[in-house]
Chain A
């Protein structure tokens, strides 16, 4: 069996300018889109709480949303996953603890009512902390535990869950410091649902709860990893091939990453740690594909010495065309199972991968190769320029 019977002779490189222009525009569009609209960031990066619940009987997404609204969870997003009969939902809330700006005002009022306060610090909404200093201890040492439990109950009475009220210690210059640590948002979500959806039993299957700093750390680490990987690949390609091949491989890789990011941008699917895994996979695939084409170019360069680079690249791309189609096709084939049986994150993974394979194949021909040609031409122009200078120097 053969896909391509005879050798093809398609002029791929001839259309490189149009392709490069279109790709640049598309990439620019995606980057601008990211700058303006941003991703639909999952809790992994944005911080917040994600709860997956599965009801024992069918419930509509609207009913869940309404129940949340009634319980004061106004920005709760509800997304059904899987079939209707599954009655599984992903519930998302910004904020990781129950200390929202609104809750903080209420809590502050309660704290001020506990006794004479020296000050109440600005609430730390990121970490769900409220520090305050009392003029005198809430109670003598032996009753301290009970007094703190009472303070906790008083704050919970206004509808904000508290994990603990901690005594931080005596303050210099008189007074005692305390800290209220607020309870997680997920408890609020499940208690609100339980209250407002009576008779609909559910189980909490998954909780993701990420503080804003952690999200930032995850993002910075990812970017650093990408930069280091790019640098080392550039060095290896320059060492194994020629330097002029390196930037092309890198740009092709970046192009593919941007395009796959574009999928997440346009589809508004959630961008989370699994999306990072997809980007990494596409990165690996993109490099692999580009190197295979480069290798053939290198071989043809040795065979047809003196031929212009664009022609050589055309020959190389044509020669490897059936391989390129086959490899992409076979890898796409392995995703079929994921596309059919996957739900939620697995489906997203497969769909984004499919796009990655398509752009990865395209970019090896239309991004990596034209850039190499351009660098080659520039080097040639500079060399002749350099010779001129030399001549001048000699005659002078």
Chain B
């Protein structure tokens, strides 16, 4: 045995051990945890031994195998866009009126996203055209015909707007799922106008669809600043220390803070003063779009004076005077009247902006706002840079619009598998795979005798390597993934058949056992390599272009190809070399 052989032995043994090590979290999640807790990372971490890899390196089952719901929501951006072009049209008409450029009548064609202005006095149209085109950069001129000017929404604006509509919908969905308290939910954008949501495990599908599919509720409610309810209740009935609820103050008012939404609401439930209600605001978020870590209370009026349906537009900008970020809000005619009354009665008080029962912010009313146009200025609060405040302003505008102008969201795709069916599939699939694998192992051992058994060892190691590889990438195993797995096992067997046939050929031409083995492996190497690389290319392309099931297949295939190259060439050669060279054998059993 030369040194090369020993270093290869070390490599193979350490790969085998490493692969077993990586399978520990997967083993624990399947055999030590209850079925219901299989996706619970925290529970898994609790029972994992200290030396094991982190819980995230585990193989989880796809929705088709473990049960769950896969939803694709389609955001109806066309309807939203048509409404938008109509609204912009009336803004243009108002602008012309406010700047006293002339008298115009407005007609809109929402389907074509066109706005037509007709001037009473044709002489004013040139000035109007010039001013409007310079101010409303999201429109281009389609045609000008004497006193009539037709404008159309610019294409780039359309794609921007569509993107915004999808982001709004995602924001609402994320906030709701967070409220629902499900951790393992994956929300992502799919294509240009769809959102994909995966809810694993046994969830109630109707609840999920209702939760995600309904329109966002935006409300404006008055905050009760006089009440000492919060501090009184805290003194009268101190919360249990485990709940983590503390009494603090925010903007000069007493508030309760705590990490657990439900605990905080339960603590004050039924104790609020007559006609008042406690709502929560998220204080601290884990990452930008992650779960909320800490909440703060607001005591608000139960009556809802104004809802998002009266809101026409909201956008973020910088104040012309102070350069502070601000959010500009416009209400429709009826909303403007109600908003005027509300602000008149409540000067000096705070008004909470509530989206889906969660307070987003509570600006102070400085004066009566009569015309339905208001500005929410994000003041210089401590410890925040201007960029951070601008970011906040953008989010607030998004929240307002998400509640006010929701693009209708419809369900584009639902795949729901009951957990029991998933179990059935796993049982049948595992049985079928084991029978197939058993037959192959038996055949190899019978046909190639010792060399066949060597190939069998490699095959089993190959299977373990694929599973470990999938765990390492925190992949999900789906039905097509199993298909990829079976294919790579087939390819791995093929590699060993190639090698053994070559060795037989060399033996038949009268070579000694040692030369035959060495040459057989050398000759077969490039064949196996080329075959593996081409299959790898196909798998790689599928991985990058495919989604969902195709990607699951490609992941198994790509990992399997690398594993197969290693086991069929390095591992079997190691063992065969030992059998022939190490024991100084004169014959080889093939």
A residues apposed to B, CB below 8 Å: 1-2, 52, 96, 127-129, 131, 141, 144, 163-164, 166-173, 177, 179, 181, 184, 186, 203-211, 213-214, 217-218, 221-222, 224-225, 228-229, 232-233, 236-237, 240, 249, 273-274, 276-278, 280-281, 283-285, 287-288, 291-292, 294-296, 299, 319-320, 322-323, 326-327, 330-331, 333-338, 340-343, 345-346, 349-350
Contacts and interface: CB of A to CB of B under 8 A. Distances in A.
Contacts of B263: none
24 contacts: A129-B408, A177-B83, A181-B213, A181-B408, A184-B209, A208-B414, A208-B415, A210-B413, A222-B550, A236-B533, A276-B550, A277-B484, A277-B549, A280-B484, A280-B554, A281-B486, A296-B527, A327-B493, A330-B490, A335-B486, A336-B435, A337-B436, A337-B438, A343-B428
Nearest to B89: A172
Interchain residue pairs A-B with the least CB separation, the first 5: A337-B435, A334-B436, A277-B480, A337-B436, A337-B432
A129 B213 CA distance: 13
A292 B498 contact: yes
A170 B535 contact: no
B339 to A, nearest CB: 12
B557 A345 contact: no
Interface stretch (B71-79, B143-151, B234-242, B314-322): B71-79
A283 B538 contact: yes
Interface in B537-582: 537-542, 545-550, 553-554, 557
Contacts of B76: 127, 129
B462 interface: no
B383 interface: no
A206 B421 contact: yes
Contact of A340 (B72, B432, B501, B547): B432
A236 B412 contact: no
A288 B415 contact: no
A287 B534 contact: yes
Contact of B108 (A172, A233, A296, A334): A172
B526 interface: yes
Nearest to A176: B309
Contacts of A338: 432-433, 436, 486
A204 B533 contact: no
Contacts of B457: none
B382 interface: no
Interface in B485-506: 486-487, 489-491, 493-494, 497-498, 501, 504-505
A1 B436 CA distance: 21
B439 A334 contact: yes
B348 to A, nearest CB: 26
The SS class assigned to the B binding surface is: helix
Contacts of B332: 170
Interface in B409-467: 410-418, 420-421, 425, 428-429, 431-440, 443-444, 446-447
Contacts of A213: 74, 412
A275 to B, nearest CB: 10
A228 B545 contact: yes
Contacts of A277: 479-480, 483-484, 549-550, 553
Contacts of B408: 129, 166, 168, 179, 181
Contacts of A177: 83
Contacts of B497: 323, 326-327, 330
Nearest to A320: B501
B561 to A, nearest CB: 9
Interface of B: 72, 74, 76, 79, 83, 86-87, 89-90, 106-108, 191, 194, 205, 209, 213-215, 307, 309-310, 332, 334, 405, 408, 410-418, 420-421, 425, 428-429, 431-440, 443-444, 446-447, 479-480, 483-484, 486-487, 489-491, 493-494, 497-498, 501, 504-505, 523, 526-527, 530-531, 533-535, 537-542, 545-550, 553-554, 557
Contacts of A280: 480, 483-484, 538, 542, 550, 553-554, 557
B539 A284 contact: yes
A334 B550 contact: no
Contacts of A128: 410
Nearest to B538: A229
B256 to A, nearest CB: 30
A285 B490 CA distance: 9
A211 B76 CA distance: 13
A333 B443 contact: yes
Contacts of A170: 332
Nearest to B107: A173
Contacts of A2: 504
A209 B549 contact: no
B108 A141 contact: no
A255 to B, nearest CB: 16
Contacts of B309: 141, 144, 167, 169
B421 A281 contact: no
A292 B531 contact: yes
A217 B447 CA distance: 47
A181 B410 contact: yes
B537 A337 contact: no
B538 A336 contact: no
A236 B412 CA distance: 39
A159 B435 CA distance: 50
A164 B406 CA distance: 14
A280 B488 CA distance: 12
Given A284-B539, A284-B557, A337-B431, A179 B74 contact: no
B440 to A, nearest CB: 5
A292 B534 CA distance: 11
B530 A291 contact: yes
A194 to B, nearest CB: 15
B524 to A, nearest CB: 9
Contacts of B523: 299
A258 B530 CA distance: 24
Contacts of A346: 425, 428-429, 432, 479
B446 A1 contact: yes
Given A224-B545, A333-B440, A334-B437, A214 B412 contact: yes
B432 A291 contact: no
Contacts of B214: 164
Contacts of B90: 172
B413 A209 contact: yes
Contact of B74 (A186, A211, A229, A319): A211
Contact of B483 (A166, A281, A336): A281
A349 B483 contact: yes
A179 B546 CA distance: 34
Contacts of B526: 295
A330 B410 contact: no
A219 B511 CA distance: 54
A321 B493 CA distance: 16
Contacts of A249: 534
A184 B408 CA distance: 16
B415 A209 contact: yes
A229 B535 CA distance: 10
Contacts of A229: 537-538, 541-542
Given A172-B87, A213-B74, A205 B553 contact: no
A176 B44 CA distance: 53
A171 B541 contact: no
A281 B552 CA distance: 12
Given A222-B550, A292-B498, A334-B486, A209 B411 contact: yes
B490 A331 contact: yes
B203 to A, nearest CB: 13
Contacts of A208: 414-416
